[in-house]
Structure 1
Amino acid sequence: MQFALGPVLYYWSAQKMRDFYTQVAASPAQVVYLGETVCPKRREWRLPDYLAVAHELREAGKTVVLSTMTLLESPADLRELRRHCDNGEFTVEANDIGAVGLLHEQGLPFVAGPAINCYNPRTLKKLATLGMQRWVMPVELSRDWLAELLDQPEVQDIRSAFEVEVFAFGHLPLAWSARCFTARSENRPKDQCGLCCIDYPDGKAVHNQEGQRLFTLNGIQTQSGSRYNLINELPSMAGLVDCVRLSPQAEGTFDWLARFHANSGGECPVALEPNDSNGYWLKLAGIEQVETA
């Protein structure tokens, strides 16, 4: 089982990004995803910056994947997508079906990101025939669903053609919108947002009337309020999952990566924190937390 660090989903300063990826190079993560997937206005780093870090991480022994935007809203977004697909060196994570089409046209393999709606064997087989080499399961699906899907005859025929990756740690990306909810929460129009997302390095918490953290605002992306944490579910992934993804957080990412690595076979279970959840994997409401250690 491999461990991956997903793309940074939040808006961090250029220096914070640089410091983070310096630590990534020395970490036990085998796979690293790079790129802005949420908002094109976040320009602290551009594609040349990501490519420079990609070369450094590759020299450190990491498998590097370039992640694309999830919601394309303008011709400029499409041009940027083409530049990612035309990078000529690194595999691309397609987070939009348009990226799948562009990569297939060029005969390039790709990773199908968690935002690609893939819920049945026919879709999975279609993506594999288009060049998918790794599939990141949609975050709201369960272990039982995954096991049943992979057991279907038409998937069994192509199972060796792709790897399975599961989002296992971090606030879950749930939805994207043309509106920027972080800006709206500060009474700012989207076009004059002042890039206020940079003030929330782990997103902006939204609580219900009972004081429970229900959602996390991250620009045009809405995330879960609870932190998804499957550290104690790793043994149940044996034989099903090839790669486990941790989503970078502003603090503590590498401590959690070390804990996941130590608990690969269930030898070092960890008590979940009050705001952690694991419901989706267990076929429950996503916000639920069940101690299974």
Structure 2
Amino acid sequence: MNMPTSASLAGTDAPAEPGRFGLTIGPVLYHWPRQALMDFYAEAVETPADTIVIGEVVCARRRELRLPDWLALGADLAAAGKTVVLAAQALIETEADLRLLERQAEQTDFAVEAADASALHLLAERVPLVLGPHLNIYSRAALVEHAALGAGMGLGRWVAPVELPLDDIAAINPAADPVCTPAGAPVQTEAWAFGRVPLAFSARCFTARHHHLPKDQCGFRCIEDPDGLAMDTSEARAFLVLNGTQTQSAAVQCLLGEREALRAAGVSRLRLSPCARGFARVVEDFHAVANQGAKAAERLASWAALGVPGPFANGYARRRAGMEWSVTA
């Protein structure tokens, strides 16, 4: 991208405008070629999303972009007016992983999204923190404890675990009585509103195993599956998606029609997890529905022709089986 390079933490703790949902583009979870990543972020700059999370979350062996590259990309995105957050790896396994996390904690330009509870002590009180969806925050007491880890650093955002029903989110961090940071700022709640649900991480690489390859000699076969490797049941029903060391749901969580329920739950930000095709339209449509009153069903009808993956699900949000799907207004 051809943009000036400057980055700042200024404004990263600004809440969404009253009555408006902030839109966050989550980290790319799949292994995409370097040029595909750069093209994706060049397009993301033009979307209504105000926050972009960058960095490798799933596998430390994926090195299309290294930390200096991510930092330079983040500077470009920040210069274009986006709030940038660095994503930390979800599963810390080696000394090299810890050294990378240490370097993320030492940089001063961007907040860091914590993904592993064991790594929090390296980040606490050193950088502004986003509490990512992989942390086990399932109660108000847990959110209060975690919110204190960014003491004095100014950022307070919590991405609720993907399987939490909206009424549980409302009980943990209600809009009328939000958890606050030590500086007194309300913690913003962000909900996983679009994307395949991350179910588990493992030290084993299931994509490599599928191809009968050892993890350390995988040949980066996951780069062949820009939206993950779909797995069906013996009855030919979509079941799971393999993404290297990550297992995802086959269904794509989609809360496009849940605007009023999200607002009632105290959610102020929507997390949109990238897919390989049609994602810019997804972001545009979430903005149109959540912030401009457009009809969800009309927007959803156009996605299949763009290659947006499905099927969709919203059962978790409604305290039902996660794979259930029903469209609301």
Q: Normalising TM by the smaller chain, what interval?
A: over 0.9
Q: Secondary structure at the match of 1:83?
A: helix
- Displacement of 1:155: 5.2
Q: What residue is the counterpart of 1:142 in the other structure?
A: 165
Contact kept in structure 1, 2:207 and 2:243, CA below 8 Å: yes
Structure 1 residue 285 corresponds to structure 2 residue 318:
no
What amino acid maps onto 2:47 in structure 1? S
Q: Secondary structure at the match of 1:242?
A: strand
Residue-by-residue CA offset, 1:119-151 (whole Å, 9 max, x unaligned): 011110001111161000000011111112224
Structure 1 residue 232 corresponds to structure 2 residue 257:
yes
What amino acid maps onto 1:109 in structure 2? P
Q: 2:192 aligns with which of 167, 185, 201?
A: 167
Contact kept in structure 2, 1:125 and 1:155, CA below 8 Å: no
Q: 1:248 to 1:157 in 2, by over 3 A?
A: closer
Q: 2:137 aligns with which of 118, 121, 125?
A: 118
Q: What residue is the counterpart of 2:86 in the other structure?
A: 66
Q: CA RMSD in A?
A: 1.9
What amino acid maps onto 1:181 in structure 2? F
Structure 1 residue 39 corresponds to structure 2 residue 59:
yes
- Displacement of 1:84: 1.1
- Displacement of 1:154: 8.4
CA distance in 1: counterparts of 2:227 and 2:76, whole angstroms: 26
Q: 1:267 aligns with which of 286, 294, 298?
A: 294
Residues 89-238 of structure 1 aligned to structure 2 (within 5 Å): 89-106=109-126, 108-131=127-150, 133-151=156-174, 160-238=185-263
- The TM-score normalised by the length of structure 2 is 0.85
- Displacement of 1:185: 0.7
Q: Secondary structure at the match of 1:232?
A: coil
CA distance in 2: counterparts of 1:23 and 1:235, whole angstroms: 29
CA distance in 2: counterparts of 1:111 and 1:269, whole angstroms: 29
CA distance in 2: counterparts of 1:136 and 1:157, whole angstroms: 15
Structure 1 residue 14 corresponds to structure 2 residue 40:
no
- Displacement of 1:101: 1.2
Q: Secondary structure at the match of 1:115?
A: coil
What amino acid maps onto 1:250 in structure 2? A
CA distance in 2: counterparts of 1:9 and 1:97, whole angstroms: 19
Q: Secondary structure at the match of 2:227?
A: coil
Contact kept in structure 1, 2:180 and 2:187, CA below 8 Å: no
Q: 1:166 to 1:152 in 2, by over 3 A?
A: closer
Contact kept in structure 2, 1:128 and 1:161, CA below 8 Å: no
- Displacement of 1:292: 2.0
- Displacement of 1:15: 0.5
- Displacement of 1:6: 0.2
Q: What residue is the counterpart of 1:27 in the other structure?
A: 47
CA distance in 2: counterparts of 1:118 and 1:231, whole angstroms: 24
CA distance in 1: counterparts of 2:187 and 2:328, whole angstroms: 29
What amino acid maps onto 1:252 in structure 2? G
Instruction: Structure 2 unaligned segments of length 5 or more: list them.
Output: 1-20, 305-309
CA distance in 1: counterparts of 2:175 and 2:23, whole angstroms: 26
Q: Secondary structure at the match of 2:257?
A: helix
CA distance in 2: counterparts of 1:52 and 1:148, whole angstroms: 39
CA distance in 1: counterparts of 2:228 and 2:222, whole angstroms: 7
Residues 70-85 of structure 1 aligned to structure 2 (within 5 Å): 70-85=90-105
CA distance in 1: counterparts of 2:75 and 2:289, whole angstroms: 30
Residue-by-residue CA offset, 1:167-216 (whole Å, 9 max, x unaligned): 11111111001111011111111111111010000000000122111100
CA distance in 1: counterparts of 2:69 and 2:128, whole angstroms: 23
CA distance in 2: counterparts of 1:118 and 1:152, whole angstroms: 17
Instruction: Structure 1 unaligned segments of length 5 or more: list them.
Output: none
Structure 1 residue 250 corresponds to structure 2 residue 276:
yes
- Displacement of 1:2: 0.5
CA distance in 2: counterparts of 1:224 and 1:156, whole angstroms: 30
CA distance in 1: counterparts of 2:99 and 2:191, whole angstroms: 29
- Displacement of 1:100: 2.0
Contact kept in structure 2, 1:136 and 1:165, CA below 8 Å: yes
CA distance in 1: counterparts of 2:55 and 2:277, whole angstroms: 19
Q: Secondary structure at the match of 2:258?
A: helix
